[in-house]
Amino acid sequence: MLEIRCPYCGNRSQNEFAYGGDATIKRPELNTEVTDQEWDNFVYYRKNPRGNHLELWHHISGCRQWFKVHRNTATHEILKTLEMKENL
């Protein structure tokens, strides 16, 4: 069980959160030509690294805010949590 520090509410149990995927993925720009490969990469392809990873989490049973978690996927250590507008 992880203890995750919500940037708004403080430390809470993982039970209150939902995982939201890779936080480094960017949607292709609107109103531009997008190749099938670029769209494929956006929708399906993920790196799944062993080590530090920037993730999206949702405090679904708390303040219902989305935020970023910098987490080590091997040790599960949470290095930092950030509001959506913040960058590492």
Partner 1 sequence: MKRNSPLKNLHQTGLYGNYKNQNENDLLVIREITNLKIFQIVQYKSSTLNIDSLKLDGLSFPVHAGFVEASDTTRVQWNAPNTWIIISSNENIIDDIIKNFHENDFAITDQSHSRAIIQIEGKKALDVIKKGSPLNLNDFKKNNCANSIYHGITISIDMLDDDLNKFNIMALRSFTGSFHHAITDAALEFGYKGL
Q: Which residues bind partner 1 (CB under 8 A)?
A: 8-13, 15-16, 60-65
Q: For partner 1, which is the closer residue by CB, 10 or 51?
A: 10
CB of 14 to partner 1, least distance (A): 8
CB of 64 to partner 1, least distance (A): 6
Q: For partner 1, which is the closer residue by CB, 34 or 60?
A: 60
Three-class SS state of 50: coil
Cα–Cα distance list, 25 to 1, 5, 28, 83, 85 (Å):
26, 22, 9, 16, 15
For the chain, state the CA radius of gyration: 15
Q: For partner 1, which is the closer residue by CB, 20 or 62?
A: 62
CB of 46 to partner 1, least distance (A): 28
φ, ψ for residue 16 (rounded to 5)? -85, -5
